[in-house]
Structure 1
Amino acid sequence: MENSRQHPAFEAVFKPGNLSFGLVLPLTRAGETRPDPHAQLYFARLADRLGFSALWVRDVPLNSPDYPDPVEHLDPWVHLGALAAATDRITLITGAIVSPLRHFIHTAKGAASVDYMSKGRFLLGLGSGDRPGEFRPFGRELSDAAERFRENWERISALLNKDGRIDPSGTAADPNAEIRPRPLHGNIPMLAVGSAGQTIGWIARNACAWATYYRPLARQRDRYAIWRAAVQKVDPTKSPAFASSLRLQLEDNTHAPTRQLGLGLRLGRNGLIEELLTLREMGAEHIMFNLTSNERPAEAVIQELASEVIPQFR
């Protein structure tokens, strides 16, 4: 997808030398397992108004012991439809659709529909899934996930980014059957979320960006260096778009020390800004804040990020 950098929704999130910020939905407080969907729409509208660049929605078909987070998740396509109607500017991203568990036509149709409803504000993030207990009820095996991910990526990309009539499986009964509506800007940029069982070279050749989990700075720096080398091997002129999640517990005390959490940090605002400045210097272009299990109200954290953190990176 050579023209992804010219796609308005992609450009709003990924700009070389810039660091943008998003929120992972749902936002929850400590002990909350059933988020109020109306409150989540309020947070989405608030983030849209306050200058966040993206809202990320996860795909969790089943809650089980394999998925230790007990929080209930809406179906991602239903959720995205509501977000598209509730917001005006902010980019909507799946982080990620579990591609091996969904038919590629359904995924392409959902992506095209959200793109249309949001007036072109959608990016499609795909992952392979990693929980055996989630695969078995679908009659799938986790051992096949990486191969199915590659196959579905090719088919979804063809349906969304070409003429909508290409069926790589060769099984279409009607050669004129096509995915409608067509993407508003001619294509929908596709992101790889996690490694998805693929080599870094495969991701560099096929994805317009790579989104990965939080790691301590030294490890993340090494991760980004591998990604940059892989992208530039494919195309020396191409800028490596890189996003990272960050589970965040932002304390009231601005000077609170930094403590490691699973997949994130607990710290004060000053420490957070230092962390983010280092990530930007490293080459990261987008950070998605995961505000789960916070002791503070989500609105207070969003307001502080918008008024005291985001302006440091404009």
Structure 2
Amino acid sequence: MEKQEHIIDEEQVNERIDKVLSSLNNEWSRTQVQSWIKEGNVLVNGKKIKTNYKSNLHDKIEISIPDPEELDVVPEEMALDIYYEDKDVIVVNKPKGMVVHPAPGHLTGTLVNGLMAHCKDLSGINGVLRPGIVHRIDKDTSGLLMVAKNDYAHEHLVNQLVEKTVTRKYRAVVHGNIQHDYGTINAPIARDPKERQSMTVIDNGKHAVTHFQVLERFPDFTFVECQLETGRTHQIRVHMKYIGYPLAGDPKYGPRKTIDFGGQVLHAGVLGFVHPRSGEYLEFEAPLPQDFVELLDKLRNNR
């Protein structure tokens, strides 16, 4: 375990201790520093403190930096569809059917298993089973994900999600014929009290906003683009069901009689964010997967 010391100077007086420490080293994220404080690895004048401690002049800060935790994830060689990579960020196009990170019942074959074989340097903020994962998409949703290779990049990307500045556009096919060309769904989402494995629109849920645009209409279905303003679990699936147009193929939120697609017809096609180190805005677009294209062709031919 590495140890470092720091003395508070006049410019740092009355600042929160987690903010002071994260400013000392741009590789130390504020989230990481807060976890060190909670674990008792940060002492002020020889005493443990809380994350909201305000510094005083000449405070002596002792920081014990834990050794990197060995990730309990088995690296697996797999063909990853990587759209962008540098020392901070990877953008990968996840295929339908792949789970993002290990969990009970899915300890291997996940995107994280493949990433661990591809590169050893992923951020540790989300723990040993979700290294580098800033945001997720469902197993049966295809498309683009940004992955952080260090904690500095992870915190920057998470902050952009919180501030709603990340561009996330999805393509979907929904049941029914939406008559208006554009719409915004502003409805709070939380876990369904009657069905704990599902999410639902509920008054005391978390703020959730989805914008949609109609791209093409068919007799019984509509091809839409949805843009996330927030990123709640199953947000697009729950919101489109809420307004009466559930996703085609969706076994959880769709009707009993739906398209046999092996899951919801949903693709995360556009992802844009500000690079955490360069400050440059980057945007990527992944084309629709082949089965999605074939479904659209079938719907067009049946008109």
**Bucket of the pairwise TM-score, normalised by the shorter protein:** under 0.3
Tell me the TM-score normalised to structure 1 length: 0.24
Larger radius of gyration: 2
Q: Which has the higher contact order (CA 8 A, sep 6+)?
A: 1
From the two aligned structures, give the one with the greater helix fraction. 1
TM-score (norm 2): 0.25
Structure with higher strand content: 2
